[in-house]
């Protein structure tokens, strides 16, 4: 059983920063991709950033230059450092783990950016 637990969400003013963390536990295969998705009210879930076990990263256009994804393989943990936050970044942020054709999701952490 794989579990993903996010932390680090909260309320921040526009222009501020937040760091999200996600710890994966259970049977984690070495070949995997971790990442962050988000879903704002009334919108579909969208990718924010992903990172392979080897450190290759991909970002949504909205995240480029402002967000940085990283991971600690020894701790099965992925991070999302968010800077220059905007009100439109307000959403529930979900941790993602993909391996052996399966997708796993955390329960999400709410990020609210006030103007």
Q: Please provide the DSSP assignment of 40-71 as one string.
A: -TTS--EEEEEEETT--EEE-TTTTTTEEEEE
User: How high is the pLDDT of residue 112?
Assistant: 98
CA proximity to 79, closest of 10, 24, 16: 24
Q: What is the CA radius of gyration of the chain?
A: 13
The residue count for the chain: 115
Token reading at 26: 């259970």
User: Among all chains, which residue has been given the structure tokens 């393989």?
Assistant: 73
Question: By three-state DSSP, how is residue 73 classified?
Answer: helix
Tell me the pLDDT of the chain (115 aa) as tens digits: 899 999 999 999 999 999 999 999 998 888 899 999 999 999 999 999 999 999 999 999 999 999 999 999 999 999 999 999 999 999 999 999 999 889 999 999 999 999 9
């Amino acid at each position: 059983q794989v579990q993903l637990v996010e932390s680090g969400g909260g309320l921040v003013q526009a222009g501020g920063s937040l760091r999200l963390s996600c710890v994966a536990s259970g049977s984690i295969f070495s070949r995997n991709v971790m990442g962050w998705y988000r879903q704002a009210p009334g919108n579909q879930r969208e990718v924010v950033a992903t990172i392979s076990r080897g450190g290759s990263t991909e970002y949504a256009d909205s995240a480029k230059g402002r967000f940085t994804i990283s991971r600690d393989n020894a701790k099965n943990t992925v991070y999302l450092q968010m800077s220059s936050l905007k009100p439109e970044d307000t959403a529930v942020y979900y941790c993602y783990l993909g391996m052996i054709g399966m997708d796993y999701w955390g329960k999400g952490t709410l990020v609210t950016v006030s103007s």
